[in-house]
Amino acid sequence: MDKQEMSLVLQDVRKAYRLLADYQQRIIEMLDFIKDEILEAEHYYHDLPSSISPQSIHKIYKEQDIGKKFLPMLNMHLLWHKTQSIPNGQEWQNSLKENDLVFDISISTNESETSSALHIYVYQCIKYTRKITWYSDVWAKKYDYPKFGSVGNFKDDLDTIEYQIYGARVNLTELCNEEMTRQAIEKFRKNASEKLGCVV
């Protein structure tokens, strides 16, 4: 590669940075709209399994695929909760009741797929007795999710925690604007409500 070729490559890189920034801004605005305006949920937690933490920067020199680990939204999961009633001064995890919900949201940009999509799973509480945190007690157990459109069941070994789980895949092309986003997520809510037997 000569100097001129390198200059063209760097020009493409600068364009790619701007494109990625615009894309991520749009995704975040869309997620915020879904959380606040449609699902009426609250942010609980996030997980960035494919990103490198600031504390681990010193390890970058010998890491495989290190370039991907500087893409902070790659495989990002957001956990939102929708709890019916939380007593004053109490944490939502201490007040979970039957049919309270937790949503697991992620954007799939898997290279093996032909399109980018929003993956949205909803956990419907059957019963929950807190041990550590909801994240540790339920989500971090790495339960195998049911196929999209189907309902799965999660129980702990002590029979003190039980959830039903339903998920769907929504193509990002169906989320181009607020009107289309509302239609797509309302369709998910309708299907999830019918499958789980509660209002999502």
What residue numbers bound the domain in which 74 lies? 21-196
Give mean pLDDT, residues 43-66: 86
Q: What residue ranges in 48-156 does DSSP mark as E strands?
A: 77-82, 101-108, 117-128, 151-155
Q: What is the DSSP letter of 59?
A: G
Query: Domain tally for the chain?
Result: 1
Would you call 78 exposed, middle or buried from its count of C-beta atoms within 10 A (0-12, 13-18, 19+)? buried
Cα–Cα dist 63/85, whole Å: 46
Give mean pLDDT, residues 40-51: 91
Walk across the sheet containing 101-108 and list its strands.
42-47, 77-82, 101-108, 117-128, 161-171, 151-155
| Domain-embedded: residue 68 | yes
| Domain-embedded: residue 87 | yes
Reply yes or no on whether the pLDDT at 125 is more than 70: yes
Give mean pLDDT, residues 120-131: 95
Q: What is the model's pTM?
A: 0.91
| Domain-embedded: residue 106 | yes
Q: What is the pLDDT of residue 69?
A: 84
Helix (H, G, I), strand (E, B) or coil at 185: helix
Give mean pLDDT, residues 13-38: 95
**Contact present, 166 and 121 (Cβ < 8 Å):** yes
